[in-house]
Amino acid sequence: MRVPFAGGYAVKQATFNVYDKFTGEIIDSAPLMTETDAEQAIETAYDSLDTMYKMPAYQRREALEGVARMINSKRRELVDVLVAESGMTLKQAEFEVTRASNIIRLYSTETIHLNGETMTLDADPRGRNRKGYWYRVPAGVIGAISAFNNPLVLLAHKLGPAFAAGNSAVFKPASLTPIAASKVCELFIEAGIPATALSVLTGRGEDLGTALARSSRIRVISFTGGRETGERLIRAAGVKRMVMELGSNCPNIVCSDAHTETTAKTLVDAAYSYQGQNCLHAQRILVQESVYDEFKSAFVNQASKLRLGDPRSPTTDIGPMISEASAKRVEEFVVDAIRLGATLLFGGHRSGVFFEPTLLENVPPTARISCEEVFGPVSVLIKFSSVKQAVQIANETNYGLQAAIFTNDSANQAYALRNLNFGTVMINESTDFRVDMMPFGGFKESGLGREGLRHAIENMSEVKTVVYNLDSEKE
């Protein structure tokens, strides 16, 4: 695999293999880059800042529009790669490509919104005869570090705002899924982003990510991944801006007035899509006791229709997990919950890289799955009596990305909105919902900052203020 690196193509003797997650076969290899490579890439990106600064907004817009078009033109190739390297089903991979193209197109429109405003300085006596304004300038070199579960969507949410705001970037894709992302990075250069302004680093995240974080040349780190890795990057980073999405344990509250069948179908999709490898996965499903049995029956009936198998088959709903190690980790969560007294309603079995869609109930709050992120196709049913109790249970986690409540009662909605300690609260929609212009990020240990158009642009730019002393114009 050719990887755009430091204004050209790196020729490395050391490589690592990328495997088909279903067949286990080697599908490609990628350069095993080192900290020295990272330092070279950072220097090249830093040296390109003047070129990017002089690149007018219309050219940046046209380049991003071109990337969006080319992603669509290479849809078949990208879908095939995504299915192989990530284990996504065909339906999921098709959506990934469509969404990535749309995200980059959305960011192309943000180039015209990099505005500022004038300031009324003489509102303070010291500002008499002074005029001023502020505007946004590029932050500098962006260090973008991505996760395996949405290789192209996450790339789009990092490189889209980086280039829209006029920065250069060094991009580190997940080592388990580097191929499709690297192919899209080539499209940025083909579309007109200067070759020196984008480098791609493939290899061990522990080495390359740390090198990006600790470099004084990097001004913003945009990271999606696990909390422990995020904490390590923060410790290494020094004085720079950190934008991080670090996962969640999303609660979905189902009240007695919710439509049972519709809500059950929505939450089955939210629980098991992408094999549960999704930070918005409906991990905890809280159901009011008066409709608990009815909802459980509807949920089990809907989930029983899901088909496990070859992700290349158009009838497959659940493909392989990203690795056998990840599947074993999910298995440990289930074993832990059952050991502590949980009841297994369905699923619970692992076969190599496959893990069955799984539902538990009677899970004690001390179980790992009650408070940690499982990142797999396992959900928990929890019975509650009042909305106040449900919100209290929902908040009993160190995460705070998204929460949801299904109810038409305005008092219940108002209580949930006021008291759920999460970055986003959904009303009659699952936690798995996201439209890419939304501000996206969480409270507590779910991360720092926000992604999503204007919010991402603000994180990847700086405010420069200008003040004129008009007294110098005296005769």
474 falls within a domain: no
356 and 238 share one domain: no
276 and 234 share one domain: no
19 falls within a domain: yes
From the list 65, 85, 245, 451, the catalytic residue is: 245
Number of domains in the chain: 2
Edge-to-edge strands of the sheet including 447-448? Answer: 198-200, 168-172, 141-145, 218-224, 241-245, 447-448
Q: Show Cβ contacts of residue 394 under 8 Å, excluding neighbours closer than 6 positions.
A: 251, 253, 284, 286, 403, 420, 422
Summarised one tens digit per residue, pLDDT across range 170-215 is 999 999 999 999 999 999 999 999 999 999 999 999 999 999 999 9
Q: Shortest CA distance to 440 belongs to which of 237, 150, 235?
A: 150
Residue type, 26: I
388: number of CA atoms within 13 Å, CB side? Answer: 0
Q: Look up residue 176 and give its two tokens.
A: 């388990």
352 falls within a domain: yes
436 falls within a domain: no
307 and 178 share one domain: no
Q: CA-CA-CA-CA torsion for 380, 400, 226, 406, nearest 10 degrees?
A: 40
- Is 245 one of the catalytic residues? yes
235 falls within a domain: yes
81 falls within a domain: yes
Q: What pLDDT was estimated at residue 7?
A: 47
291 and 412 share one domain: yes
218 and 260 share one domain: no
372 and 237 share one domain: no
What is the extent of the structural domain holding 213?
A: 4-246+446-465
Q: Shortest CA distance to 442 belongs to which of 243, 232, 238?
A: 243
E strand segments, 227-300? 241-245, 250-254, 282-288
Q: How far is residue 283's CA from residue 381's CA, in Å, rounded to a whole number?
A: 9
The CATH number that applies at residue 226 is 3.40.605.10
Q: Show Cβ contacts of residue 129 under 8 Å, excluding neighbours closer than 6 positions.
A: 122, 469, 470, 471
412 and 458 share one domain: no
- Is 279 one of the catalytic residues? yes
The tens place of each residue's pLDDT in the chain, 475 residues long, gives 655 554 444 545 699 999 999 999 999 999 999 999 999 999 999 999 999 999 999 999 999 999 999 999 999 999 999 999 999 999 999 999 999 999 999 999 999 889 999 999 999 999 999 999 999 999 999 999 999 999 999 999 999 999 999 999 999 999 999 999 999 999 999 999 999 999 999 999 999 999 999 999 999 999 999 999 999 999 999 999 999 999 999 999 999 999 999 999 999 999 999 999 999 999 999 999 999 999 999 999 999 999 999 999 999 999 999 999 999 999 999 999 999 999 999 999 999 999 999 999 999 999 999 999 999 999 999 999 999 999 999 999 999 999 999 999 999 999 999 999 999 999 999 999 999 999 999 999 999 999 999 999 999 999 999 999 998 765 4
385 and 405 share one domain: yes
Residue 313: CB atoms within 10 A of its CB come to 12
227 falls within a domain: yes
45 and 174 share one domain: yes
Q: With 0-12 CB in 10 A as exposed, 13-18 as middle and 19+ as buried, what is 426?
A: buried
320 and 401 share one domain: yes
258 and 195 share one domain: no
Residue 264 · residue 293 · CB < 8 Å: no
Residue 285 · residue 382 · CB < 8 Å: yes
Q: What pLDDT was estimated at residue 471?
A: 87
405 and 455 share one domain: no
Q: Show Cβ contacts of residue 36 under 8 Å, excluding neighbours closer than 6 positions.
A: none
Q: What pLDDT was estimated at residue 404?
A: 98
The CATH number that applies at residue 350 is 3.40.309.10
Q: Shortest CA distance to 460 belongs to which of 62, 111, 51?
A: 111
From the list 279, 373, 445, 451, the catalytic residue is: 279
Summarised one tens digit per residue, pLDDT across range 120-142 is 999 999 999 999 999 999 999 99
161 falls within a domain: yes
Q: Look up residue 125 and give its two tokens.
A: 């006596």
